[in-house]
A and B are shown apart, each in its own frame.
Chain A
């Protein structure tokens, strides 16, 4: 009796080992982001055929998170991209502007947008799309908390992605991270544009490149990390942002604004 039970237990352990080894880091193809620190933490880059979650730190950082997702999608490759967006997300953080999308170095010709009426329809569409290996990646954009996106749903997405090799990017705004089967989870906020050299005339100052403060809070096969990256629109990769002065404290409320701006520039210089 005992030995039979032990055998059964050993069998089960073997099964679990086999299942777990399937998701081994070596099995997944990876694509480098270009940012040395992040690539090292990710053991070579972002895993393909897996699910990655990107959270906006607060809803006002939704565009930064969108930019990060767009950058990841571009790194994954130039294959058709399906962007599934919930209608409410479009009302809250705006629709994707294809001119801006083009300027980030992505190809609007490869983009197919699905406007889903609600989170449930969006999830179902994404699960369907992740099984279609003609796509490079599927972006699923969901606004706010939803009970449909639980562990079971994310497991389904992960399995579909693994089966087809299509990468799933989950863009969440105004939501708190929940347990999921994602390969990585990022929290993104906007960061200041790189400072200009002191004394540069205003019309020579080039600023406005997408600089993002990213925190890797979950990584199944490596350490977490915190980096400030700049998306290089021309080279189409992430780079370490040049000096990135963040204000130590919020600007004083009693001081007039232009003075604060000058003070900030002086500090930066």
Chain B
């Protein structure tokens, strides 16, 4: 005996929905216990509607689920029938007749509407359908009328699938489940060729690819790869997936084997074929973005970055690191401040993400440091320049915002540091409150 666990139920339904992906890419959740599959144009792949329904129900029953399924031309009609009878297939145009004898509860309307209908003496859907629509709408609302019309096959609404429909899908089914890496890799290669051939006919290239591995026991694993440029070559797709599969933290577990492997292009772009000069550096850009794609497939999108300058004085916010896959073009056109000629660098070469607290002895509280202690070593300051005062941006203030006084210092070994005092002594940091805090923020070359 267990307590009901709504979250676990929802998760299980989600897994069943993922498994149902093998029949059609359009699977919608009908919480708490139903699934809607749009099998338009898919049934013939499984030997017709009867065979498809049987295959699906047998497989789900084998996994230990109690199934009640029906096929009809509208989602609501099929759902209504499946709540009353299992395995019925309603031909086009027979919907009204099929649902008429069913009790109103099967419509799945609110409990208040259902009991209201019953109290009005309308026991079956046929009874309700016989009444004039405006009477029903006046009593139970327009939403219920729409539901009723859809159940009767007089109107239809699209289902909202769990995943958007990919632009291109290729897949391979196996009579015997496959589990060896070699076969899986070879399958991906041949699928990549098929996908590229399909896309090539319409002049498209893939920006986002997804490989789904359907295990015999119902588990489905999907692996997605993004690219910066539309991919039109099978070997590139193949290599990206090899990098990705090599690097994923929890490796692909075939269990008792996969019986279906699918490769889909969920985002595509039109590829313009262009004539290229010999030795042009457009070729270089392609090579570079291919390299970035490969590294991103292995390490993740966020680990390969390009840099964009930001309009702010705060040193740690002056540069934004953004994904190289998406922003390579922007970064190449970014406008950086030009350096002042004949000046030594005013900004450090290395900057700490979190400034490190240091102990400082300064001649006067608001003067440059004379000596400081950083990472258990004492540095005597030989030269210092500053302060360079950086005020925080009050308009995006988060928490404490003290003005910083930055100093460029050189110690007796020739090391050059960038450190700052947090807060103006005397106005922001009161002499009574003790010594101001100092931080190490960067290192000069």
Contact = CB atoms under 8 A, between A and B. Distances in A.
A109 B288 CA distance: 14
Contact of A97 (B290, B350, B371): B350
Interface string B315-327: 1001101001000
A129 B412 contact: no
B295 interface: yes
12 contacts: A60-B377, A60-B415, A91-B353, A94-B353, A95-B352, A100-B345, A100-B351, A112-B328, A116-B299, A128-B291, A257-B380, A260-B380
Interface string B285-325: 11110111011001100011111010000010011010010
Contact of A64 (B298, B408, B412, B445): B445
B5 interface: no
Contact of A102 (B336, B370, B416): B336
Contacts of B238: none
Range of interface residues on A (Cβ < 8 Å): 35 or more
B305 A103 contact: no
Contacts, number: 215
A188 to B, nearest CB: 10
Given A192-B414, A257-B381, A70 B350 contact: no
Interface string B344-362: 1111111111000000000
A38 interface: no
Interface in A235-269: 246-247, 250-251, 257-258, 260-261, 264
Interface in A72-100: 79-80, 82, 90-91, 93-100
B294 A208 contact: no
Given A97-B319, A109-B334, A260-B380, A210 B345 contact: yes
Interface stretch (A7-15, A131-139, A147-155): A131-139
B288 A113 contact: no
A73 B328 CA distance: 20
A114 B304 contact: yes
B7 interface: no
B156 to A, nearest CB: 50
Contacts of B339: 102-103, 105, 233
B382 interface: yes
B363 to A, nearest CB: 7
Find the residue from B287, B292, B351, B371 having the highest chain A CB count within 10 A. Answer: B351
Interface of A: 60-64, 66-68, 70, 79-80, 82, 90-91, 93-105, 107-109, 111-117, 121, 124-125, 128-129, 132-135, 189-193, 205-213, 231, 233-234, 246-247, 250-251, 257-258, 260-261, 264
A88 to B, nearest CB: 13
Contacts of A94: 348, 350-353, 442-443
Given A94-B443, A112-B306, A234-B341, A125 B350 contact: no
Contacts of A205: 383
A30 B132 CA distance: 91
B398 interface: no
A95 to B, nearest CB: 6
B337 interface: yes
A113 B319 contact: no
Closest 5 CB pairs of A and B: A67-B445, A63-B443, A208-B344, A97-B351, A134-B287
Contact of B303 (A70, A116, A132, A257): A116
